[in-house]
Amino acid sequence: MTEKSFMTVEEVAAELRVSKSKAYQIVRELNAEMQKQGYLTVAGRVNATFFLKKVCYQQSI
């Protein structure tokens, strides 16, 4: 697997050009949404594909 499956808070902050505290909030919200869908999540990290889908960079998961 060459492509990263998860993005860190620092990567989310850099991608969206927001503060780390805002990035933590976004990661928590996305992880909560994934948990509702039955997925296992990792604190402080977000699934990269799900993140890209939610910020409209990619059409499908």
Q: Which neighbouring-strand residues pair with 46?
A: 7
pLDDT digits (tens, 9 = 90+) for 25-61: 999 999 999 999 999 999 999 999 999 999 976 555 5
Give the residue among 13, 15, 11, 4 at the shortest CA–CA distance from 49. Answer: 4
pLDDT band at 1 (very low <50, low <70, confident <90, very high): very low
Q: What is the rounded distance in angstroms from the CA atom of residue 49 to the CA atom of residue 52?
A: 5
- CB-facing half-sphere around the CA of 38: CA atoms within 13 A: 0
For residue 47, count CB atoms less than 10 angstroms from its CB and return exposed for 0-12, middle for 13-18, buried for 19 or more: buried
Whole-model pTM: value is 0.84
